[in-house]
Structure 1
Amino acid sequence: MAKLGIESYLGSYLLSSTYETLGIVAVMGPATIYNAAFIEHLILVLSPAFEEILQRLTEPV
């Protein structure tokens, strides 16, 4: 990540409705994340939408 200039990151894993790992979501930046609580809240609020989309993409057609 240093080659990309990333100094800090916050992330969380994404789960399916059966609690299988679908992936991760992360916020990365070139400097210290000073408002980490806000970023953590943002990830918490948006994760269900990401999980739903990823679950639909991974379900058989």
Structure 2
Amino acid sequence: MSADQVIYDGLRKREQEIRREMAEIKCQVLEGHNLAYELSLLRNERQTIRTELGKLAKRLHLR
């Protein structure tokens, strides 16, 4: 497995974790907790990961 593939797989896994964390935070927000800052940090991290995934996918010819 190439280094790019290892990085790609790791980033995909982290993106899935972020999606779960975001869903949990959204549930807590619905319960009345103010977690907008934490949610914005996760959104920013996820966007960065998605950008990197796109670059790696091109290099790995996944798109």
Q: TM-score, normalised by structure 1?
A: 0.39
Larger Rg: 2
Q: TM-score, normalised by structure 2?
A: 0.38
Q: Greater strand percent: which structure? A: 1
